[in-house]
Amino acid sequence: MTLKIFLVMKLNRINIIGINPCKRFSDNELYCINNSDVIFSGRRNINLLNNIDKNKIEIMDINKFLIQLNEYFNDNKKITVIASGDPLFYGIGKLIIDNFDKRFIDIIPNIGALQIAMAKIKEEYNDIKVISLHGRPIKGLAQKIRCHNKIFLFTDKINSPSNIAKYLLDFNLNNFTAYVFENLGYKNEKIGKYNINDLINMEFSDLNAILLKKYKDNTISLDDNNFIKKNNNITKKEIRNIDISEMDIKNNSTIWDIGSGTGSISIEASFYNKDGKIYSIEKDVESYNNIIKNMKGFSTDLEVINGEAPAILYNITDDPDIVFIGGSSSKIESIIEYSHKRLKSNGIIIVNTATIENMVKAYNKMKKLDMGVNIKQINVSRSRDINNLTRFAPLNQVYVVKGVKNE
């Protein structure tokens, strides 16, 4: 029985080879290639196999590639997949591992684009943040990078250096120097150093990557006065701090901020939830426009929605881990009910209200939904100077009602 399994494993073998165009194939790599029945490779590497007399298939479409790979695998063919650099570092390796049994896969890694790029400009990268925009949306990039000093970006035709530069300037992130690496390891390799403004409308090879290196801090103060707001309507900083604490935010969470007003809760939450999704929902058009201005000013890229809850919530496909309700237009109970229906297990709903009536409605509704509920009554006063003297002026009292989904 053991022998039979061993033979099957030897027949069903996928070799993933990371190559470096600057170097010749190693003995191990050549052995895998020469003993393969079929070789898959991307367009830019397939020319390196011109002297290899094997069935070579160019990877044009990922879905088609997986179908073909599965067919050859089920036919007991020996397969080699040619990748660039380290196949497990934002490469094709993870895709293959996710779709095939690891027992039938061998990987030979190589030096990747990150290592080559940093060596070229003699820059250490122990503290670097790496993000792939290759085949991924740029949405949410701002909060991922604003607090990092070095960011390495893998790009594509849509997320080109020029479009990335436009995005950075739009989100008040002009405090970086950019290195653009084109065709690393190939004969037409080119490396350039630019200011962000210089990249606008410049054209580069499709095969490129970018290093962003911060040359000055973009100090961000979340003081109430720094938000654009309507009628001075904002969840005050002291209350926000309590709300954020009660949310128990974990990075990569999905948050709904309903009745967002200025977007202050959403924006502050993004500092703890850099890799998650935050939906900032506001029915008032002027306030909605203010949220967009505020998020760009604070280098935060949110999902901002103009509409009234609960009806507008039906259009959101991502179920929330946390729901914050700062405004409800007398629909507090229906908003809580629908939010609870969509809320993930052990998710949290927080309601801020200044009135006893809405506090009671929120509390009773959460209890009826069998949530674990607690309430905080918050009174905050700020010092004011009066004729060389100091007094305390109270802010509006706020009730914070927190419910936890018990399932």
Give which of 225, 228, 244 is closest to 292, Cα–Cα: 228
Does residue 3 have a pLDDT over 80? Answer: no
Lowest mean pLDDT among 42-56, 147-161, 209-223, 244-258: 42-56
pLDDT for residue 23: 76
- Average pLDDT over every residue of 151-169: 96
Burial class (CB in 10 A: 0-12, 13-18, 19+), 392: exposed
- Average pLDDT over every residue of 281-299: 96
pLDDT for residue 307: 96
| 129's tokens | 């943040």
- Average pLDDT over every residue of 34-61: 87
pLDDT for residue 13: 85
Does residue 326 have a pLDDT over 50? Answer: yes
**Local confidence band at 106 (pLDDT 50, 70, 90 cut-offs):** very high
The separation between CA 131 and the C-alpha centre of its own chain, rounded to angstroms, equals: 9
pLDDT for residue 5: 37
pLDDT for residue 160: 96
| 311's tokens | 């009806």
Q: How many CB atoms lie within 10 A of CB 378?
A: 16
Please report, for the chain, how many H helices and E strands are present, in that order: 13, 19
Whether 376 and 400 have beta carbons less than 8 Å apart is answered as yes
Residue 183 backbone zone (phi > 0: left; psi -120 to 50: alpha; other: beta):
left
The values of phi and psi at residue 368, to 5°, are: -65, -30
| Ordered alpha helix ranges (H), 181-313 | 237-247, 264-270, 285-297
Coil, strand or helix: which one is 17? Answer: strand
The angle at the Cα of 36, spanning 31 to 40, to the nearest 5 degrees, equals 110
Structural domains in the chain plus CATH codes: 2-110 (3.40.1010.10), 115-214 (3.30.950.10), 224-404 (3.40.50.150)
Does residue 203 have a pLDDT over 60? Answer: yes
- Average pLDDT over every residue of 156-169: 96
Does residue 9 have a pLDDT over 50? Answer: no
Coil, strand or helix: which one is 96? Answer: helix
| 282's tokens | 């506001």
pLDDT digits (tens, 9 = 90+) for 31-43: 888 889 999 998 8
Gyration radius of the chain over CA positions: 27
DSSP class of residue 395? P
**Local confidence band at 12 (pLDDT 50, 70, 90 cut-offs):** low
List residues bridging with 304 in a β-sheet.
280
Q: How far apart are CA 193 and CA 178, in angstroms?
A: 6
- Average pLDDT over every residue of 151-177: 96
Cα distances (angstroms) measured from residue 173 to each of 48, 158, 229: 40, 20, 22
**Local confidence band at 1 (pLDDT 50, 70, 90 cut-offs):** very low
pLDDT for residue 330: 85
Q: Are strands 129-132 and 150-154 parallel, antiparallel or unpaired?
A: parallel
% of the chain exceeding 90 in pLDDT: 79
Q: Are strands 381-386 and 389-394 parallel, antiparallel or unpaired?
A: antiparallel
Does residue 384 have a pLDDT over 70? Answer: yes
Higher pLDDT, 9 or 182: 182
Average pLDDT, the chain: 92
- Average pLDDT over every residue of 281-308: 96
Coil, strand or helix: which one is 3? Answer: helix
**Local confidence band at 2 (pLDDT 50, 70, 90 cut-offs):** very low
**Local confidence band at 46 (pLDDT 50, 70, 90 cut-offs):** confident
